[in-house]
Chains A and B, each alone.
Chain A
Amino acid sequence: MRLYRKEGNTIHILCFPNESVEKGDYLQVEDPKQNKTLLIQVIDIQFASIPGIMEELLRDSTNNGDIVCGESLDPLDVASQITLIQDARLVVCKIRGTIQNEKLSVCSTWLPSRSQSVIGKLSTTALAALLKINDKLPIYVGETKEFSPLKVDATALDGRLNIVTGKKETGKSHFSKLLVLSLIDHGAPVLVLDLNGEYAHLGYTSDGKKNQHYTKIHVLTPASNFKVMLSQTKLRVMLNILVHALNLPGTSAREFRRIWRFLKEHTKLSLHELGEAIRNWQCNHHVKDALFSRYYALVNSGFFTDDPSETITLEDCFQEIRTGGAFVVNLRDISFVDRQIVVEYLLGKLVEMLTGWKLKAVFLFAEEAHLYLRETYWNDIVTRMRHFGVFTTFVTNQPDNIRENIYRQADNIFLFNFTNDRDLDTVSRAAKVDSETVRSIARDLPPHYCLLLGRIVKNFPMVVKVRALNVQTMGQTRLFFN
């Protein structure tokens, strides 16, 4: 391999086909005179621009037809060198940092010698060791290209905003399950908003037996084993549900606030009493109709109950998993409106618990959040709620449903394959890496290979083959032919 050109932070390396290099690989350009090594990452591999190659290929392509055929007598085997030149590659790399005195820094203000530099590969394992990315609480995410295990540090997820994205069936849900289980193993409380019921069986092995996580995975199904009483609910949370999930107009909301306070003062805060109060409340009949329709929506959701034996409290739930565990809120098979009611309740309750220090922090995993999270919550989650201790991981196969500012603020991005340019454009807006890296590497990632970006890899993008999990991870997709 030879150093050919440098433009900005892009380095071009010339290499022959027998020098195996793949996208995502790290190369070190060692300049013995300067006693420094430039660390670069391969983001694209092209054919070197060879003069006369077009003529040669056109000439040889006539062999493919039936009209012209023949053979070459080349006793010296000169053609092998010509073929080598034909297959010469131009490896496009991005500068990531400098190694000097066995220390890695992001400095890239120098230029190695073109004639003297020695170029070699740096294994992902060696890079991980240099970066010390698995020092404290290791999460075994998978294997590097060299088939050695890659571990990252769970603390890099702590207090961070994460995005797991990729097109369908590339393994992003599998990866988020791996993160959930690893966080649990490290004693973290996790809340999963499970849109498709995929996480409900994390406590079971793939052959249906209970696994070591069984006692730490709690599935909450709204209107079934997850019901709450109005008395457990703050007025602010209820108003959020009414206004944002059920679109209650402002005037009616003000009337509702009065009713709620009245019931609370008389310790009559129940679903039944709320219905009676609305019925008997002296107000405009349009307001009354609006309140009634929302009241019946609450009743019909089945999420609220007056029976104390049916209810659970989130405070008690999180107490159960204080040494690590997950609550999987199964949002499968419930309507869009009911889903929003549940999520409004949960997020409101979480903030309440966190502000009251009833909960230290929680890792929230939100699959396809655009399907249940209202617009205003996005900014809330990445800014205000993060400070309270809600550390969110968004999981989506539709990256354009997440706002640009979310990408810009994301601390970690776990990127799986995307082929669509628009999707790649969206993800490449993330501030943690240059857009060329995202576009080029993500486009060619095989299924179950993930490009790790951000703090988790100390901003040195790494490709990992995500390890398998012995848990029931598959989403239960209904099939017609099977």
Chain B
Amino acid sequence: MLDESADSFAEPSQPKLKTIPLKPIRDETQITAVDVSSMKIGETDVGILCAIRAAIVWKQKHLYRYLRLGPFPFHITEENKNEVYHLFRQYSFLEQPTLDYTGGLSLIYAPTRLGALLERWLQMSIATQTSNSLILWDGSLTAGTQDAPVAVISQLLEIARNRSNIVLAFTKATRLRLLGYLLTDYVHKCTSPCLLEISGYPMTLSTAIHLLGDIYVAKLSGGSCSFRLDVDRKLPQEKAVEATRRLIGNDVLQQSYPETLRLAHIYSTFTANEVIGIQRFLVQAHKLRIVTRPNVRKLLFGPFGKGLEN
């Protein structure tokens, strides 16, 4: 999942807003979505236990099909974190990593980082194995972070483009603001289905962070929700609009969110029961001893200790 690394467009940009009404195109275009969940499921004396699961959902001829990968449990320690991370990067990027990112890799963030690498690998697989499809990502097309280098994301989009696929990236909760207001607030009064085109903003949010997609606010069906939608910047705007029209013509939309992506999220998410099951698996199969650390906040503050315990 790509993080939105800035809270607002850099000044002094003069962005323009334009509403684009949408008419559905029903042509049985294949829609494919991918989502990955990662979770810390416990601690051992020497490290953390985490699990990752991915789900790919695709809609073809009125049917939703899914492939669930995992859960993959990991025991990450200070000793093996580099090895694990490099293993993931090896399969996640087209190029071998040139930079050592692992020096600063904290165990706390390891589940998220590993999840992001798996997601990238799956996005790559989908982009190379499908054609003439809409590929839905959970997140944005903002690049420049450690796990989403500009080169890699650009290459992903290029492969998708070359195979006539179009990547549509949905951000569930955007933090991006325009003239002080959240992006999604601008579309409340528009009649659905529509896109709110935002133009005139810079392509970089900072020296490192680049926007590789055109940013829209999508209000694709009835209901109160709207989402930030990023579409590959290198595609003409007509193609982006057409892709969105094909999405609303071929997928079910609840509260403007595509069902395919919703299912991918549901199938990858861990329930509390699954966490217990994975813990049990690690204890039974690998004889790992899960330690329960005292909740310091609770110890110190009793009922007032409401913060998260890491």
Contact = CB atoms under 8 A, between A and B. Distances in A.
Contact of A82 (B72, B266, B267, B278): B278
Contacts of A82: 273-274, 277-278
A6 to B, nearest CB: 23
B63 A71 contact: no
Contacts of B72: 76
19 contacts: A53-B271, A53-B273, A59-B266, A62-B263, A67-B63, A68-B263, A69-B64, A71-B67, A72-B67, A72-B69, A73-B70, A74-B68, A76-B71, A76-B73, A76-B285, A78-B70, A78-B71, A81-B281, A86-B273
Given A67-B63, A70-B66, A52 B73 contact: no
Given A51-B273, A53-B273, A56-B271, A78 B73 contact: yes
Main secondary structure of the interface of A (DSSP, over half): mixed
B272 interface: yes
Contacts of A56: 271, 273-274
B276 interface: yes
A66 B86 CA distance: 41
Given A66-B63, A69-B63, A81 B284 contact: yes
A84 interface: yes
B32 to A, nearest CB: 13
Interface of B: 51, 57, 62-73, 263, 266-267, 271-278, 280-281, 284-285
A337 to B, nearest CB: 66
A55 interface: yes
Contacts of A72: 67-69
Given A59-B267, A67-B64, A71-B68, A81 B272 contact: no
Contacts of B285: 76
B278 A74 contact: no
Contacts of A79: 277
Nearest to A66: B63
Contact of B66 (A51, A68, A76): A68
B278 A78 contact: yes
Given A59-B266, A74-B70, A78-B278, A69 B271 contact: no
A84 B71 CA distance: 15
B79 to A, nearest CB: 21
A78 B266 contact: no
A17 to B, nearest CB: 13
Contacts of A51: 271-273, 276
A70 to B, nearest CB: 3
A78 B277 contact: yes
